[in-house]
Amino acid sequence: QVQLVESGGGLVQAGGFLRLSCAASGRTFSSYAMGWFRQAPGKEREFVAAINWSGGSTYYADSVKGRFTISRDNAKNTVYLQMSSLQPDDTAVYSCAARASGLGSRDAVQYDYWGQGTQVTVSS
């Protein structure tokens, strides 16, 4: 099965920048849509961003639109989440997910594989 490993999380000041990476196993990566989700303590998991198999279509939650950018490098089997102007409300565990259909989705149920997550903490 597909394995996903996130990295790049950490502690950053409000207004700061982080770039998360998600490395995937397998030659099928280029055909998968990829998504980022996050979950803060006491809150439900929420959609952050998604990208289709080719990288030609991207989708963002309203709360991060204009601040976060999702991208992928299929040659490296890696998807990225660039986060700027970080706010304390962005503090959460960020997880990446893969969807075999190749079409990006905001619905976590439609993803087939999940990573373990990486912690992002934004201080005020």
- Residues 52-102 have pLDDT tens digits of 999 999 999 999 999 999 999 999 999 999 999 999 999 999 999 999 999
Across the chain, mean pLDDT equals 96
The CA-based angle 86-106-23, given to 5 degrees, is 65
**Is-contact 34 28, C-beta < 8 A?**
no
Distance, CA of 50 to CA of 61 (rounded, Å)? 9
Burial 2-14 (b: 16+ CB within 10 A, else e): bebebebbeebee
According to DSSP, residue 120 is labeled E
pLDDT, mean of residues 24-33: 88
- pLDDT of 121: 98
Q: Which of 7, 17, 1 is CA-nearest to residue 96?
A: 7
- Identify whether the C-beta of residue 102 lies closer than 8 Å to the C-beta of residue 121: no
pLDDT at site 29: 86
Q: Give the rounded percent of residues in the chain with a pLDDT score beyond 70.
A: 100
CB 118 within 8 A of CB 12: no
